């Protein structure tokens, strides 16, 4: 922002100020002011700086700059004053139009040009409007402009318009002036852009009504210096072949290689070559205040921009500026979600505990009701007792009801009463509906995804999983520089509980995830790239992400006031608009298997899920064995009194006499 801004509202006020402070301004033709005002309007500027050498009077000031002072924020710079030209601006100042009129000698102009060249003010933050007379007829306008501006630090982002006087003082030819790169000593480019006349005003060619970046795309194969960090490159590989390879070792330095393969499109877009400096660090601030790595190359002007994505870190903002966003890094917790291992498993899930008790109650009620029916059956058929197989016992009713509910009986001729058959039929229908629902639910649950309980940082912290993180600087910043108590607890009580075991490099973290029971905080795309070779498809589908922080965005970085800022920004936005950035992202995205297809084709009941059935059978066997031991003990304690039960048989042995109550022989 210009430090002194003057806007004239009342004529007496400026006249009073001029006389009070003794300011003298050289005489200037009103046509020149009108041309500069039209220049400001075409550039859509609101701030102006008029460079003067002194002389003139206040009345001339009022007449010459009336329109300029009435509509713009204007500052005057006197070459004979105490203020230096470079002190008028600072980084981030609003774009300003600078007017260089006619001067008594070229030495006055050179003083301004030298200060602007040294301070780097020939850039797009200042729009220069320079008046020059074309009195030398022996040389062309291009040569005149080259003689005046050819030796100064002018780059591709310069916004310089030189107006060559023609036909007295009523018209000027306008030229656009820039260099591609002053450091590489490229020649000054002078392009005719239009003219200004008192009659027709400010007229530009159509090509100069669009962005200046499009007009200056051809950089004539100059070399741009870049810098990137390679941290994981195998020693036997050559640097450029490693960067250009998008098929092999994609888990190593993915962000740097991905960014290089995207930004090398700039070589064809702008007709440039990229020279790459290699370092082993992104940018580390050393204790002595200096930087190391890519940041160092940018600050000391060894590189024009970074060829690797740089995170938006506050302490870097003072030294560099960023391009538009290039890469989004997702850094989450990743782990294999444990399968459910509670005893109430898939065999019990179709029915709740209440329903199971209701089913048991119905079985008991049906058994008691069947006892009444059996009693009535025996009472109404006394004559057929020799063919009657009914027993009025609880065991008989219990097993008959179980046969009914399990779709295994009883025989159709066993019961004769309609009421008894109605009870059996109702029980069969009820059990059929229960079993159909039960089986369908189990099959459906096996084909569907299992619900996951560890889906947040709170549930992860409360789980039995070990928690670790990748040994990189941003992880320590993330877990320590936070006001979230849960995040701090995860770090102090889980991760730092055994730091040697839980703070690992990314390869060790992938091995721990493969083993199971471990959650690791790292870059998701890199971790997936490692795990795709360690896990089979079914294990890969068990992976669960937990995100508690926003994704990291990153971009390329440039020097402060870099002349390549607009071209790099234009390239990034163009690559995004044309879809090349999305295509490049897709090339570096890990292809994940379709877990729904894997779930449908590989359905199995493992031992963990089958354990409840085995556990129930084991309990029954243990109960049977326990009863058998009780019977043995009872027989040993009373050898003269043994009770054996069988199908329709009861044997009592006492005092060496055997009494049979049976309807057929015994087989012992």
Residue 642, φ and ψ in degrees, nearest 5: -125, 135
Using left for φ > 0, alpha for ψ between -120 and 50, and beta otherwise, residue 249 falls in left
Identify the pLDDT of residue 157.
Answer: 92
Q: Where are the domains of the chain?
A: 11-212, 217-328+577-603, 353-447, 457-550, 608-661
Query: CA–CA separation, 371 vs 420, rounded Å?
Result: 10
CATH classification code of 353-447:
1.10.287
Dihedral angle computed from the Cα positions of residues 153, 155, 158 and 164, in that order, rounded to the nearest 10 degrees: 70
**If the chain, 668 residues long, is cut into consecutive pieces of 10 residues, what is the mean pLDDT of each piece?**
37 38 44 88 91 64 70 84 81 86 82 89 91 75 89 93 83 92 91 90 89 90 94 90 89 90 93 94 88 93 93 88 91 85 55 77 79 73 52 69 73 71 78 76 65 86 90 87 90 86 89 91 89 85 88 91 92 93 90 70 59 73 79 71 45 39 41
CATH 2.170.120.20 matches 217-328+577-603: no
DSSP symbol at 72: S
DSSP readout, 95-146? Answer: PEEEEE---SSHHHHHHHHHHHHHHT-SSTTEEEEEEEE---TTS-HHHHHH
**Which residue has tokens 């002018």?**
154
pTM listed for this prediction: 0.70
The continuous run of DSSP H or E covering 554 comes out as strand 552-559
Query: What's the angle, vertex CA 336, arms to CA 335 and CA 342, rounded to 5?
Result: 125
Identify the pLDDT of residue 39.
Answer: 92
Topology (CATH level 3) of domain 11-212: Rossmann fold (3.40.50)
DSSP symbol at 26: -
Query: CA–CA separation, 93 vs 542, rounded Å?
Result: 54
**Which residue has tokens 């007449």?**
63
The continuous run of DSSP H or E covering 544 comes out as strand 543-546
DSSP readout, 330-393? Answer: -EEEEEEPPPP--SS-TTTTTS-HHHHHHHHHHHHHHHHHHHHHHHHHHHH-STTTTT-----S
Identify the pLDDT of residue 564.
Answer: 93
Give Cα separations from 591 to 57, 137, 249 (angstroms): 77, 70, 15
Residue 546, Cβ density class (10 Å: 0-12 exposed, 13-18 middle, ≥19 buried): middle
């Amino acid at each position: 922002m210009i430090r002194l801004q003057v806007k004239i509202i009342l004529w007496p006020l400026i006249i009073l100020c001029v006389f009070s402070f003794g300011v003298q301004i050289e005489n200037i033709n009103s046509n020149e002011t009108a041309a500069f005002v039209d220049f400001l309007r075409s550039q859509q500027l609101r701030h102006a700086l008029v460079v003067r050498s002194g002389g003139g009077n206040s009345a001339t000031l009022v007449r010459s700059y009336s329109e300029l002072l009435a509509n713009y924020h204007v500052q005057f710079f006197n070459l004979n004053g105490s203020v230096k030209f470079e002190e008028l601006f600072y980084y981030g100042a609003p774009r300003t139009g600078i007017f260089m009129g006619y001067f008594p000698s070229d030495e006055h102009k050179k003083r301004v040009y030298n200060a602007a060249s040294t301070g780097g003010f020939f850039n797009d933050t200042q729009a220069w409007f320079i008046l020059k007379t074309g009195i030398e007829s022996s040389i062309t306008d291009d040569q005149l402009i080259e003689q005046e501006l050819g030796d100064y630090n002018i780059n591709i982002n310069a916004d310089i318009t030189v107006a060559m006087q023609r036909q007295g003082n009523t018209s000027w030819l306008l030229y656009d002036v820039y260099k591609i790169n002053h450091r590489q000593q490229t020649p000054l480019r002078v392009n005719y852009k239009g003219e200004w006349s008192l009659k027709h005003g400010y007229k530009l060619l159509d090509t100069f009504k669009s962005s200046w970046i499009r007009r200056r795309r051809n950089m004539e194969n100059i070399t741009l210096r870049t810098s990137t960090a390679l941290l994981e490159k195998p020693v036997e590989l050559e640097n450029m072949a490693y960067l250009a390879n998008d098929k092999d070792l994609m888990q190593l330095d993915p962000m740097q290689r991905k960014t290089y393969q995207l930004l090398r499109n700039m070589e064809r877009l702008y007709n440039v070559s990229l020279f790459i400096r290699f370092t082993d660090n992104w940018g580390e601030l050393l204790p002595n205040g200096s930087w190391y790595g890519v940041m160092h190359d940018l600050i000391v002007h060894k590189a024009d921009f970074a060829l690797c994505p740089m995170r938006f870190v506050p302490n870097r903002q003072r030294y560099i500026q960023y391009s538009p966003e290039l890469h989004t890094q997702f850094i989450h917790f990743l782990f294999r979600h444990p399968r459910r291992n509670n005893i109430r498993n898939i065999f019990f899930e179709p029915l709740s505990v209440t329903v199971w008790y209701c089913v048991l109650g119905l079985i008991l009620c049906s058994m008691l009701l069947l006892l009444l029916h059996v009693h009535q059956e025996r009472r109404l058929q006394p004559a057929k007792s020799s063919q009657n197989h009914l027993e009025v016992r609880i065991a008989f009713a219990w097993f008959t009801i179980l046969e009914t509910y399990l779709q295994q009986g009883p025989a159709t001729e066993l019961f004769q009463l309609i009421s008894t058959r109605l009870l059996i039929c109702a029980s069969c229908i009820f059990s059929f509906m229960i079993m159909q629902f039960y089986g369908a639910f189990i099959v459906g649950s096996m084909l569907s995804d299992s619900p996951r309980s560890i889906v947040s940082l709170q549930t992860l912290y409360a789980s039995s999983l070990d928690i670790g993180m990748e040994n990189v600087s941003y992880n320590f910043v993330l877990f320590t520089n936070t006001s979230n108590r849960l995040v701090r607890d995860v770090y102090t009580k889980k991760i730092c509980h055994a730091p040697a075991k839980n703070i690992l490099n990314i390869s060790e973290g992938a091995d721990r995830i493969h083993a199971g029971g471990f959650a690791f905080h790292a870059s998701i795309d890199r971790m997936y790239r490692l795990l795709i070779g360690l896990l089979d498809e079914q294990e890969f589908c068990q992976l669960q992400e937990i995100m508690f922080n926003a994704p990291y965005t990153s971009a390329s970085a440039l020097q402060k006031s870099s002349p390549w800022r607009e071209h790099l920004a234009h390239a990034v936005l163009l690559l995004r608009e044309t879809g090349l950035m999305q295509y490049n992202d897709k090339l570096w995205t890990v292809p994940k298997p379709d877990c729904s297809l894997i779930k449908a084709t590989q359905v199995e009941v493992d031992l963990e899920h089958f354990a409840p059935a085995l556990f129930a059978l084991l309990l029954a066997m243990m109960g049977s064995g326990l009863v058998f031991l009780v019977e043995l003990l009872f027989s040993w304690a009373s050898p003269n009194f043994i009770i054996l039960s069988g199908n329709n048989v009861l044997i009592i042995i006492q005092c060496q006499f055997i009494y049979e109550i049976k309807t057929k022989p015994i087989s012992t």
